[in-house]
Amino acid sequence: MMRPVIGITCSRVVGGAWSQNSPGHFMDYTFDEYSSAVHHCGGAPILIPTTQNHESLQSICERLDGVILTGGPDVDPHFYGEEPLSGLREIDEAVDLTELAVVKIALKKDLPILGICRGLQVLNVSEGGTLYQDIPSQVRESINHLQKKDKRVNTHNVRIDGNTVLHSIFKRRKIRVNSRHHQAIKDLASSLIATTWAQDGLIEAAENPSKSFVIGVQWHPEGTWEKDPFSKKLFHSFIRASKSAAKQKS
């Protein structure tokens, strides 16, 4: 059977290794962990370039069977009606605009979406939700969500609501996850339901119950899928949903 094609959104750096050839230009990139997980679980990954060309994004999404929204810079608070606070870090409006457009198109087509870290936040903002711009300065007595250890290491527990798609995937009420974020959901978009929380009450995952598969997690399953069974299960069910989406198209 043909593999479902999974579009993966990018972040950007100026120049990169070849910057002398194209000064002032950007390179779209994403970590190979995302595509490795997709390859391993039976999907065919392809990168979605950063662009404001809506017709191109529409045509790209026509050919996709699923979308992964990746980790990346902070979302510009302008998109949820706030001024920047001092705790805000790097933003990239072009990446925001690309991902917000992709989410809109994907939701309309009911494409499976897996939002990872920033991806969960983009899902929330795209549907009218807001974010904490900086957890340590805005949330009293929050736990450490910006672990020093790399993404392969799980560092905090999360509690999962029993009546959710995420629970039907994990079949556990409590798992341990990695944590590399300093932003989090503040007001949840009305189209989403929170499914998972950290001990400090911050939302660690959400899903859209009116769609076939729209799940966002605040942690990084692409960093742990090789060893962590829950991360692997999440990618497997996302690819399974994308296979069904592909079947319905043909």
- Residue 220 is among the residues annotated as catalytic for this protein: yes
Residue 67, Ramachandran bin (φ over 0: left; ψ between -120 and 50: alpha; else beta): beta
Of 145 and 211, which has the nearer Cβ to Mn ion? 145
CB of 58 to Mn ion, least distance (A): 34
Q: Which residues contact 250 (CB under 8 A, 6 or more apart)?
A: none
CB of 148 to Mn ion, least distance (A): 13
CA 70 to chain centre: 5
CA 44 to CA 119: how far, in whole Å? Answer: 19
- Residue 33 is among the residues annotated as catalytic for this protein: no
Q: 87 and 182 in contact (C-beta within 8 Å)?
A: yes
Residue with smallest beta-carbon separation from Mn ion: 179
Read off the tokens for 78.
Answer: 């302008």
CA 180 to CA 220: how far, in whole Å? Answer: 8
CA 133 to CA 124: how far, in whole Å? Answer: 13
CB of 216 to Mn ion, least distance (A): 13
Of 147 and 212, which has the nearer Cβ to Mn ion? 147
- Residue 41 is among the residues annotated as catalytic for this protein: no
Of 106 and 215, which has the nearer Cβ to Mn ion? 215
Residue reference for tokens 């959710």: 164
Read off the tokens for 11.
Answer: 């972040």
Of 60 and 117, which has the nearer Cβ to Mn ion? 117
Catalytic residue, candidates 33, 99, 204, 222: 222
CB of 178 to Mn ion, least distance (A): 8
State the residues that interact with Mn ion by CB under 5 A.
Answer: 145, 179
Catalytic residue, candidates 10, 61, 117, 145: 117
Enumerate the active-site residues: 117, 220, 222
